[in-house]
Amino acid sequence: MNRRTLLHATTALGAATLTAGTATRADAAAAAAPRRDRPLRVHVVMFDGVEELDFTAPYEVFAASGYFADREVRVRYVTLDGPRTVKAAYGTRLRVDHGWAPEDADLLVVPGGGYARREDPGVWAEIRRGSLPRALAAAARPDLTVSALCTGVMLLSAAGLTTGRPCTTHHRARADLERQGGVLKNARVVDDGDLVTAGGVTSGLDLALWLVRRELGADAAVGLEEMLEYEARGTVWTARNSR
């Protein structure tokens, strides 16, 4: 792909972030490795009060990743309540066209937002409501990786998914995560196989780049870093049995 084509594709992908469409690479070739003969399906979980950067950064990384890999990538925003408009933390309104369907995903990404503002929509409101933590707990199955960044990790904690597991979150929520049974690791990204967590708001880039490297290969991650003009930051903690 020449530079002009890549820059054009990048502009289109930025627009896709705002329209919540499904990004694909139509000409992806089937790979020989197990599970790579079909698209990588990524669902970014949305809720009212979600932090803008938390959901846009991973979406753009995954949406662009198909241009650097031989495997097709499909990424979409989803909500537990079905297609609707979500109002994010700073007022952005985003139409989400897809409902909850973790059985159709290989990777869930749970953003954060609203943990410090307990009276407003966001993570705390979702924890109190209980529906999203219950749905996350029920989603677990073989071949599904559940990931979260920033205070979205606290939704996984409320679901019981971080209990006894290595994990991390936003620095202001780390004490809560540890009190609730998480095994806190001082790393930017913590990969415990089917559970992958990351730190504060900007770590959504690092989480997504790590998962691209893991699922699509190092060349794809390097290509994305060059396109984004961003080098992955911090330490990635990995379990010995991580995929």
Of 112, 103, 116, 205, whose CA–CA distance to 156 is shortest? 112
Measured CA distances, 116 to 67, 87, 104, 124 (Å)? 37, 17, 32, 8
Q: Which distant-in-sequence residues (6+ apart) come within 8 Å of 137 by Cβ?
A: 159, 160, 161
pLDDT at 131: 98
- Angle between helix axes 218-228 and 52-65 (nearest 10 degrees) is 120
Render pLDDT for 13-55 as a digit per residue (tens, 0 to 9): 443 334 444 443 333 333 333 356 799 999 999 999 999 999 9
Which burial class, exposed, middle or buried, applies to 241 when counting CB atoms under 10 A from its CB (0-12, 13-18, 19+)? exposed
Backbone angles phi, psi at 99, to 5 degrees: -90, 180
Q: Is the pLDDT of residue 187 over 60?
A: yes
Q: What is the mean pLDDT of the chain?
A: 88
**Greater confidence, 241 or 239?**
239
- How crowded is residue 135: how many other Cβ atoms within 10 Å of its Cβ? 15
Measured CA distances, 44 to 8, 21, 47, 148, 174 (Å)? 24, 12, 10, 9, 23
Of 88, 66, 84, 67, whose CA–CA distance to 75 is shortest? 66
One-letter amino acid identity for 149?
L
Q: Which distant-in-sequence residues (6+ apart) come within 8 Å of 91 by Cβ?
A: none
Please tell me the distance from the alpha carbon of residue 121 to that of residue 140, in angstroms, as a whole number. 25
